[in-house]
Amino acid sequence: MKPLRALVVYESMFGHTEQLAHAVAEGLADAGVTVTLTEVSEAPFGIPREVDLLVVGAPTHAFSLSRPNTRSEAVRKGALASRQPLGLREWLSSVSGTNGVGVAVFDTRRAKVRRLPLAAGPLAAKIARRRGLVLLSKPVGFVVNGTKGPLRSDQLERAAAWGSLVADVARGHVVVTERARQRVS
């Protein structure tokens, strides 16, 4: 079986989701996956053919994925203005080349409300499924201490461990997908 290739796409206004995306990518790489990591504004609008796994991460804004107005509000609170124009919601809603590609989703959420009934991850998963991606696990939430952080102390290690777990699940998905293609051919 060919080595797995993953594309990790993240949206991060204050840098917390970016830190977690790096940790997830490290966990994937430690599990033998070839990883490309990119901020959402630089992500391709078509999933490259060689990609077996898409991992997406976003901050929770107003109990959901960010919107232009919530990103503007984040900038007013000190977030990076360069990250304002494009969010994961818009990118994921328009990305192509998704049929059959496995996807794993994570989000960040504030410690005060970490058990959110609504968050960025579940909506990202819903959009991903609508786009033809195959959800490999439930979305995972990571905890930030307040809007400006920092991350809760154990979250980077937890993210790396989750990345390794996602690699194992993705390998099973790719084997099933390859077998299905062989039966059709």
Taking the CA of residue 24 as centre, how many other CA atoms within 13 Å lie in the half-sphere pointing to its CB? 31
The ranges assigned to domains in the chain are: 5-184
pLDDT above 60: residue 177: no
From the list 164, 108, 170, 113, the residue with the least C-alpha distance to 139 is: 108
pLDDT, one tens digit per residue, over 132-164 is 999 999 999 999 998 888 999 999 999 999 999
Contact between residue 28 and residue 49 where contact means Cβ atoms under 8 Å apart? no
Q: Helices 155-184 & 16-30, crossing angle to 10 degrees?
A: 60
How confident is the model over 26-65, as pLDDT tens digits?
A: 999 999 999 999 999 999 999 999 999 999 999 999 889 9
Class of domain 5-184: alpha beta
pLDDT of residue 96: 94
- Determine the pLDDT at residue 173: 82
pLDDT (0 to 100) of residue 114: 53
